[in-house]
Amino acid sequence: MIAANGVRCIPFIAKPLFVAHDAGMTRQLSVALLSAAALALGGCATAVPPVEVTRFHNAVPNWAPGTRYSIATEPAVMPSIEWNSYRAAVDQQLQRQGLVAAGSNERAPLRVRVAFERSEEAAAARRSPVSVGVGGSTGSYGSGLGVGIGLNLGGGPKRMQDLQLSVRIDDAATGQALWEGRALTSVPVKAPAAQPSLAAAKLAEALFKDFPGESGRTISVP
């Protein structure tokens, strides 16, 4: 069986170890087996493909646990469910590193910029000819920090989505970049894994895996 995301799933077929003579026991066994099969297939359908991750830093960040940070919000970015999903996922990962989110009126020594981009490929595997987004500063890997959504105006069928999360941590006082990274994956457009909550959590977790990571190296995170 092929799931929506292209992962090959093997149907779960259970053979009874014994024959239950009690009708109630038989019904309970059937329900348990059906539930296990549904969970197995559901997990396969929502799996997110491996994520390509690249990080950059000049030195291993040595900020103390409890250091506060603020997430910069671009003035032109309109709040959305997708944006909130990515921001929340990055917040969670930063706090796992021992950092603490600053209050709304509190100055923080670290300034974090979060960007996501979603673009679609047609059946011919051609990238969308038009990209609409909010630009930002350019990272070491050459992609600007901003929010962008790819639009396919060719009218052809859409198959895959390229999802990218970019995060940059700056010294708030000087504006100097302390750490930056990019996480990228591709999922079928209609797959459950393309949902913002699932995609954001997977990309953020991969991006901060073994933080800060080896500078300049691209790895694949399953």
> For strand 158-171 and strand 110-122, is the pairing parallel, antiparallel, or unpaired?
antiparallel
pLDDT band at 48 (very low <50, low <70, confident <90, very high): confident
Q: How many domains does the chain have?
A: 2
- Percent over 70 (pLDDT), the chain: 60
pLDDT band at 42 (very low <50, low <70, confident <90, very high): very low
Q: What is the mean pLDDT of residues 148-175?
A: 75
Same domain, 115 and 30: no
Same domain, 29 and 103: no
Q: Six-digit token pair at 85? A: 């999903």
pTM given for the model: 0.66
In a 13 Å sphere around the CA of 190, the CA atoms on its Cβ side amount to 5
Is it the case that residue 21 has pLDDT exceeding 90?
no
Same domain, 56 and 157: yes
Same domain, 42 and 91: no
Q: Six-digit token pair at 173? A: 């006082």
Same domain, 164 and 116: yes
Same domain, 40 and 55: no
pLDDT band at 154 (very low <50, low <70, confident <90, very high): low
Domain interval for residue 4: 1-47
Q: What is the C-alpha separation between 133 and 144, in angstroms, rounded? A: 10
Q: What is the C-alpha separation between 148 and 119, in angstroms, rounded? A: 8
Helix axis angle for 81-96 and 196-207, nearest 10°, is: 30
Same domain, 85 and 149: yes
Q: What CATH number has the domain bearing residue 132?
A: 3.30.160.670
With CA atoms as reference, report the closest residue to 165 among 127, 208, 216: 208
Same domain, 85 and 129: yes
Same domain, 89 and 177: yes
pLDDT tens per residue across span 111-127: 999 998 988 875 445 44
User: What pLDDT was estimated at residue 159?
Assistant: 77
User: What pLDDT was estimated at residue 98?
Assistant: 96
**Mean pLDDT taken over the chain:** 73
Is it the case that residue 128 has pLDDT exceeding 50?
no
Is it the case that residue 192 has pLDDT exceeding 50?
yes
